[in-house]
């Protein structure tokens, strides 16, 4: 049985936002009491619309942001308790692949220096094996030794993302958090990058947290999926269980937008009302009820549904899951 590598316990994060020059700052709750776990060797997919809190949660897991409440734990230790050598060890073990391959690479550094920078930071960038390590990493992600002498502007978006992947692999991490790693790429390049990540996961025995709004990407890579809406998790379970038998109306709407070749793209599309509510003024009760086609106002607008197990290892936060999804 795999051990828990990373977990959160009721973690929350707000940002002060000034909506008017005549009023004080209002808290914007980006992540609201999220509890989840990741086992060694597992890929957890985080799904949801823009503004649902996925990227903020990823930054909390990296300790790039400090939580307002709750905690994130790496191998049983709170990230807030890590200092000095322990924090440096965590930084080595947990790496990130960023969404935008154009802004995540320093344009003034050659590719070889970009890939080798983590090795130098962690004291691994010396000796005869340094250059050999960079050439090996470049080759593993589909680049050549000649590419190491070039600058990022000389590469396409897909090649730049390969550089970012090589940089993340440089220090032999245990976990990679990939924040929308293919959303800025062409469709054909997306498939190449996703296949590469899957190969690297198996080859290097990596764990992944994969953040994406495209459910087809998550289905291809994820062992489990957590669906976020307005800073909370509304459904979580094994990937096949979520895709074959979702238990929340929001997940149902997201899945209805995924094209299916076997039905000729003519499946029933669920169009949600309006936009995701502002986290500056979240609705009372269930956060999804203003857009939910199944909402019962006297219940859904008043009571917050707990995230609870509806089926074995399959959780949902909906008052009517049992009635709506048999």
Read off the tokens for 5. Answer: 């590598």
**Which is it for the CA torsion 189, 194, 197, 198, positive or negative?**
negative
Q: How confident is the model at residue 138 (pLDDT cuts 50, 70, 90)?
A: very high
For residues 110 and 163, is the Cβ–Cβ distance under 8 A?
no
Quote the CA–CA distance of 214 and 204 in Å, as a whole number.
25
For residues 286 and 230, is the Cβ–Cβ distance under 8 A?
no
Quote the CA–CA distance of 174 and 92 in Å, as a whole number.
8
Q: How confident is the model at residue 120 (pLDDT cuts 50, 70, 90)?
A: confident
Quote the CA–CA distance of 217 and 45 in Å, as a whole number.
9
For residues 175 and 207, is the Cβ–Cβ distance under 8 A?
yes
Read off the tokens for 33. Answer: 């009491």
* Count of residues in the chain: 326
Entry pTM: 0.92
Tracing tokens 């090589």 back to the chain, one arrives at 166
Quote the CA–CA distance of 215 and 193 in Å, as a whole number.
16
Helix (H, G, I), strand (E, B) or coil at 124: coil
Over residues 257-297, the pLDDT tens digits come to 877 655 444 457 787 877 788 888 889 999 999 999 899 99
**Segment 168-172 mean pLDDT:** 93
Residue 258's nearest CA partner among 212, 193, 198 is 212
Over residues 74-92, the pLDDT tens digits come to 999 999 999 999 999 999 9
For residues 5 and 14, is the Cβ–Cβ distance under 8 A?
no
């Amino acid at each position: 049985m795999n051990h828990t590598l990373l977990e959160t316990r009721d973690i929350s994060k707000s940002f002060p936002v000034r909506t008017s020059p005549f009023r004080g700052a209002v808290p914007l709750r980006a992540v609201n009491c999220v509890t989840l776990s990741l086992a060694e060797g597992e890929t957890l997919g985080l799904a949801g619309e823009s503004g649902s809190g996925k990227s903020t949660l990823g930054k909390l897991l990296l300790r790039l942001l400090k939580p307002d409440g709750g905690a994130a734990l790496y191998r049983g230790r709170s990230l807030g308790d890590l200092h000095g050598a322990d924090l440096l060890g965590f930084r080595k073990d947990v790496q990130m692949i960023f969404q935008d391959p154009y802004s995540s690479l320093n344009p003034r550094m050659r590719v070889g220096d970009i890939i080798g920078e983590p090795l130098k930071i962690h004291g691994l960038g010396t000796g005869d094996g340094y250059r050999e390590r960079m050439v090996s990493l470049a080759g593993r992600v589909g680049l050549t030794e000649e590419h190491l002498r070039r600058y990022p502007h000389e590469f396409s978006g897909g090649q730049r993302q390969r550089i970012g992947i090589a940089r993340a692999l440089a220090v032999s991490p245990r976990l990679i958090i990939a924040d929308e790693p293919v959303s800025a790429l062409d469709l054909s390049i997306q498939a190449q990058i996703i296949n590469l990540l899957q190969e690297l996961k198996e080859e290097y025995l990596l764990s992944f947290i994969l953040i994406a709004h495209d459910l087809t990407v998550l289905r291809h890579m994820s062992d489990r999926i957590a669906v976020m809406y307005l800073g909370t998790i509304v459904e979580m379970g094994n990937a096949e269980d979520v895709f074959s038998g979702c238990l929340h109306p929001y997940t149902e709407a997201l899945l209805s937008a995924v094209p299916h070749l076997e039905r000729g793209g003519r499946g029933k599309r669920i169009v949600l009302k309006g936009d995701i509510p502002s986290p500056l003024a979240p609705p009372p009760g269930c956060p999804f009820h203003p857009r939910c086609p199944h909402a019962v106002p006297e219940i859904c607008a008043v009571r917050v549904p707990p995230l609870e197990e509806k089926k074995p290892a399959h959780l949902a936060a909906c008052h009517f899951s049992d009635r709506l999804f048999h």
